[in-house]
Amino acid sequence: MGAVLSVCGLNIKKEKVQEERHLRANDREFNLSFKYANNAIKTSKYNIFTFLPLNLFEQFQRLANAYFVFLLILQLIPAISSLSWFTTVVPLLLVLCITLAKDGSDDINRHKNDRQVNNRKVDVLIDGQLKSEKWMNVQVGDTIKLENNQFVTADLLLLSSSEPLNLVYIETAELDGETNLKVKQALTVTGDLGDNIDRLAAFKGEVRCEAPNNRLDKFTGTLAVEGETFALDNERILLRGCTLRNTEWCFGLVLFGGPDTKLMQNSGKSVFKRTSIDHLMNVLVLIIFGLLAFMCTILAIGNGIWEYQQGSSFTAFLPRQEGADAALSGFLTFWSYVIILNTVVPISLYVSVEILRLGNSYYIDWDRKMYHTKSDTPAQARTTTLNEELGQIKYIFSDKTGTLTQNIMTFNRCSINGKSYGEVVDFSGQRVEITEKTEKVDFSWNSLADPKFSFHDHALVEAVKQGSAEVQAFFRLLALCHTVMPEEKTEGELFYQAQSPDEGALVTAARNFGFVFRSRTPETISAVEMGVNTTYELLAVLDFNNVRKRMSVIVRSPEGRLTLYCKGADTIIYERLHPSCSKLMEVTTQHLNEYAGEGLRTLALAYKDLDEVEFKTWRERHHVASTALEDRDAKLDAIYEEIEKDLVLLGATAVEDKLQDGVPQTIEQLSKADIKIWVLTGDKQETAENIGYSCNMLREEMTEVFIIAADTAEGVREELVNARKKMSPGSPDEPPFLKSRFSRKKPQLVLDEKADGEFGLVINGHSLSYGLQKDLQLELLRTACMCQTVICCRVTPLQKAQVVELVKKYKKAVTLAIGDGANDVSMIKAAHIGVGISGQEGMQAVLSSDYSFAQFRYLQRLLLVHGRWSYLRMCKFLRYFFYKNFSFTFVHFWYGFFCGFSAQTVYDEWFITLYNLVYTALPVIGLSLFDQDVNDRWSFQYPQLYAPGQRNQYFSKTAFVKILLHSCYSSLILFFIPYAAMHDTVRDDGKDIADYQSFALLAQTCLLVVVNVQLGLDTYYWTAVNHFFLWGSLSVYFAITFTMYSNGMFLIFTSSFPFIGTARNSLNQPNVWLTIFLTTILCVLPVVAFRFLLIQLRPTINDKVRYKVRQSKTVLPPPPRRFPRRRVSTRRSGYAFSHARGYGDLVTSGGFLRRPVKSRPGLFPLAESPLAENSPQTYRSIGEGAQRS
């Protein structure tokens, strides 16, 4: 039985929690005994057996669908059925089949993607031979071989590699979004195995390690080899989702496969997403069921009383069955009225909703203003069920790298010896805005220059050419003080691999200005300085870390001069300058403020000439510190401090981390719409802060930006509470919950709290992990939600999802997550709406998203235009649909009191069948597809128009009650006015027209005219289609009515068309048309009066903007052209913040070196370089470079 349930996808048996993993290399039999998961992955929801039952189960979670099945069963009982069964079963099957087809198509695509990944090939060591196997067949304990640019198959223990010191280089963009390379190193004991297949096959090491988990930055385990035990940490592990770069080959031991890998543990579960309106509809359907039961009960009781008091008088006409009495009659009448009054929840509502959603999805797909020409990428609505939710977003969770930024660094400005370079000025000395047409500096004099690098200030090139000592020293520092690795596959074709994009941008700038970093060994750095080959002896690398925020190198020039070159955060460098630099420091500070005001990332540069004797003694102390077993880092920092003092300031650099086009403007627009934006990034804190300032999320005008960086739970609590108390001194200790008047459950929703000013919050990954703990998460939520902007740094993919889940759980708000990499997938799945950007980090985010496009700036159009319109249309549609159906149904209710509660219908049966299907279907679809309060340009001009959607202003329980009362009033008019008008009435020729059939025709004609006039009042934006649908539907009604009530139809189908001649006898009478007119006026007049008073006394933002549109005689002027604002800033970025510590050691150890240095001829051969033509002017990441090469 368990096996059968397992096949059906239902796991009844609870899996035993794994505490530790134990495996043996190259021993499948031993490892299979533990029943570890293999390497196959499954992201699909259904299989061939579970598709139909599971999908139908999901669909019947809609109460209305379950209700229609119940209704169908009632209609099959002859004693109570007053309508044919097919009136329910046909539309129900249509809805179910459409949804089945859509969900089936989506899941087939997921199956295809799974098969594509599972069927990738990799070399596996089996029975002493390398065999090509599918990924899905790889088992825990297998030894596999990876080659350059291959994806890592599973979570592996690195055994050996082709590189010196058993290093491998991996790109982790799929995991953390960073495209710079990471270095991993194998243990020496396994590295000695090399690529010897026999030795690798004979390797029987045993690994004991942690159970599968989602922590990307931590791994603990041990490897036992021949009686010796070695510690394993994260530096020895290659994770699935990474890509091998610049490494010819490597061997790894599979530790975790498929669903157990850290990538899959972080991917999150696929959730069946439904909009808040869907959830509200479920509640309203329950209310409607209650209303239906109430009305049917009243009518059933009325029938029982009437049968008891009057029924015996009618037995001559309506003979009773044996055993039938008043009670039984009342009971059967109850169910008969359930069928008759079922139109309060019509199945056509759900058909129309699907059509509406599909139509609005096509608008997104067809929108040319969201089409990205460069990448030929249109916007895509990947789901059709969430459009109206786009008009209700309160929180946006965004990735940074590749989403807000292009992950491209450009060298823009610099300050050298008190002079600022990089600006372009005209003859009058006025600053000129740099555009694509601005003349660029010609670097053709330098054959090794990067042809795509652009700079516009000619003065800097002239200073270099004229031999300015300070300018040349500046670029010499940039060419020597770094950890960049050069690649030169053919002569003159240089390509730099940097651990951070900023480093690459600075070294590329030095290259173009004549100081070309050419190659390095552990002991030397080779450069070409203004055409002269120069080799420096590299004596020491004083490496970067987060505390030092600087790096230095000590080199000896060919002339024997000893120099320390240092670059780092300006505040750090300034503390170590010689007093003689004070005046230069003041001028440079002004330049730094200017650069920071433009959102550029700045570094200060300095140098110091060293004395041989002084350096020799320092070097000995440095050696002692670097070999210390205890407190090595602290001792090294102290040694570095000794020599990094009395520096001479050279100047400063300013690098731009290029934002995507329109990011600041988009964020500004979304902020005006009262949407809060949280940035969740894997980058360092300083990088994220920089981008926050660049895109105007963080501003100098803010009252305060809080930094949460404590390393303990108590420390995090203290910092969060202090921040909250500063923002709102009167804030209570306990969170303010929204208390429900009806539910006794513990309240879950936390109310918003007001802050005294504008604040920002920056929190790092360690602190966030404490903040997400159960006892701290509400404190984190309260503090964060009081801030205008929240930036979370160094977060794992799962933490991103946890932050989203936290807001979803405790805030009555709709969330949207946007990202472009695999590390954003869990966040995209967790949010109400997931948006994928088709960027440089693969398509995983797009495949998991609900909507996708190419640029972040399209988000404002998606929300402020398409989202707002979709929400507005959906709400109008629902309000109108409920109104027309309640009005239709309530007339039946009133008629029950005049027909002996006999469950007779007030309308002709054909009118009942065609009312929702034909007569009122197209006008409401026209309204819900084409209506708009204002056009897209006014929507951008007034982002505040978005606010009503966030507050559920257009459709809520309150709005539903208003619709109910409005329908109740209309139905009273629609029944009693025609009833009174027809009572004892005669035609012009004296013949009687006060019969049931004439009354039915008059009542249904009045109803149709009234609901169409109401539709006209609700329509803001009239198109030819709206007119065609409205007048066409009325014309079709009269055409069908005259046809069905004709003699011919009666003669052909006598029993089906009994209303012979009614139309021509009634509709040619003036008093009938006067009744229709009077009924329409009485129904519509209160609505017009109420709306007029409301606009005069309490106008909404929509009313005000629509009034401005009407007042505007001219077309809305184009928005003013924005020039970059210049601000004076007290904060600046520091060092190359994507950096990680430890690369200095690798540089000097020779670990980076992969091939011998070639001898080179002179500098200026006139050869065109294909690689140079394709290499970027702006520095990209290593991973992209490797792909290009």
Which helix (H) or strand (E) segment holds residue 650: the answer is strand 648-659
CA dist., res. 796 & res. 683, Å (int):
10
Pairing of β 759-763 and β 704-708: parallel
Q: Distances from the Cα of 763 to the Cαs of 108, 599, 679, 716, in angstroms?
A: 41, 21, 10, 10
Residue 688: closest CA among 701, 698, 702, 674 = 698
3-state secondary structure (DSSP) of residue 439: coil
- Radius of gyration of the chain from its Cα atoms, rounded to whole angstroms: 37
CA dist., res. 251 & res. 157, Å (int):
9
Q: Distances from the Cα of 320 to the Cαs of 297, 333, 562, 783, in angstroms?
A: 22, 14, 118, 73
3-state secondary structure (DSSP) of residue 1005: helix
Residue 343: closest CA among 76, 96, 82, 93 = 82
194 CB neighbour count, 10 Å cutoff: 16
Residue 690: closest CA among 762, 758, 757 = 762
Q: Is 427 exposed, middle or buried (0-12, 13-18, 19+ CB in 10 A)?
A: exposed
The catalytic residues are 399
Q: Is 242 exposed, middle or buried (0-12, 13-18, 19+ CB in 10 A)?
A: buried
Output the CA angle 561-566-567, nearest 5 degrees: 150
CB 448 within 8 A of CB 494: yes
* Burial track 989-998 (b if 16+ CB lie within 10 A, e otherwise): eeeebeeebb
Q: Dihedral of CA 510/516/521/523: which sign? A: negative
Partnered with residue 704 across adjacent β-strands are 759
Compute, in degrees rounded to 10, the torsion defined by CA atoms 253, 258, 260, 264.
120
Q: Distances from the Cα of 914 to the Cαs of 81, 96, 873, 919, in angstroms?
A: 19, 21, 24, 6
Q: Find the helix packing angle between 86-118 and 51-59, rounded to 10°.
A: 130
Structure tokens at 1106: 């629509």
CA dist., res. 886 & res. 879, Å (int):
11
Tell me the backbone φ, ψ of residue 1169, rounded to 5 degrees: -110, 115
CA dist., res. 123 & res. 132, Å (int):
4
Q: Distances from the Cα of 471 to the Cαs of 115, 512, 556, 567, 1065, in angstroms?
A: 58, 13, 20, 15, 102
CA dist., res. 614 & res. 537, Å (int):
17
Query: Residue for token digits 């933002």?
Result: 1101
Q: Distances from the Cα of 452 to the Cαs of 77, 434, 676, 754, 874, in angstroms?
A: 80, 16, 38, 50, 50
